[in-house]
Structure 1
């Protein structure tokens, strides 16, 4: 069962889907989950598929398009603002607490790709989330300041920020917004040196495999200063005391982030490695997703 729902993050209306368990009864109390989609993604893609499967295991699960993206409101469009993304998840928790069939003491959060980074971030300061799980986690702040776990030279980071500053000035003076793609936009941009994350990202987001008209696969260039200023991992050792499950493919070029989060966590934690899976394979390849879902259901059973 899937219902269209909406809630607000301040003045922005958020469009979401509420996935309900089979044989759902409003007279019962259910554990509930908030799911956070990848950067450039929408609720109808991989995060929705995970939500549907988790609902089959008895969890009321809400997924949504982030502020400024997809079917949700907010201007400017395609802004990737990590702080707002974290607040979106808090507001989703607010929404769940208003539902009489949700046990507000049994809520968790999960995310895929950048959504995994945001799930880790929000759990550090949102105590209503009693457990957090990630799939192919790729934290946006750490990822933007480098590439696949390799920090960019400071001079290069400053150069990027200088470019963003110039673009903000240009737009303030009336120039058109500039955008950057999350994944290659044409097959011609892919060659033998292209990382698996980007190669397979094209196949998922730019072909019928996973594309959706609301998923543009690009972001407002002036998001970069906000991304650089953000860290999903900085307070893990002190504040992330809830149980943490990190799911990553053995062949994922982003596995380094799950390794880092695991090492930083001092609370209950598990790194579940799916043998043979790449980053994107955990989005929709059945033989890999069929390993991730039961693991998540078992993990969230602690709620």
Structure 2
């Protein structure tokens, strides 16, 4: 049996979204999660979906199928609940049976994506990158690739942004009672950083800025995961309010040497003295970490 290396306990059908069809209620528990389904028995398309989902485990995956963006397994349940969509099921292979499925029309992708991002979800959009008729003539699956990853702090699409407020992506580095904070609005190019002491001041600054997403360096195993507002994690410092979206990132992106070099290269300067932060290490670490995600 071929499974993903990260096993998971299958969800029961007791807590399905309100708009779940009878077909969705009959899905076998092991088929509700892409990590527990028997992949060797999946259709080629479903196998590819599971492989892409492995690569973007922190995001909900919207997968182009004809005129729709569909999603399956646990992501189907998440999206159906979040957007109040109908949860149904789809045949995934003769030896597997049906798996949860929901979807949105391709012309409504931006509208539904905006709704998901506003609720704190990261989204990976997997598009068809060739003419389906070409693949059909060659008797194979149409080629699909992830073309966009949307997170609350990295939106650049004008129709997804609020015209009257910044869409800040922030990064925080904490060392005992001292902290560094960097924040950028990718849509406008605004980029600022600061360093101070007293954690209460950090909280006040975050509350003032109201960032859409905050990057946190951690050694936790669930790197890349997104904490939505209200969610908690052992990786989240106790001093930080849980009213924001937090993205867990590797510590190495926030080391002083790597962060400093990244700033020098991206800003095309020989010294950080001209930016006023040469002797502010926490400031540099936060800024370098923020710039790393700026170009992900």
Higher helix share: 1
Same fold (TM over 0.5): no
Larger of the two Rg values belongs to structure: 2
Higher relative contact order (Cα pairs below 8 Å, separated by 6+ residues): 1
Q: TM-score, normalised by structure 1?
A: 0.25
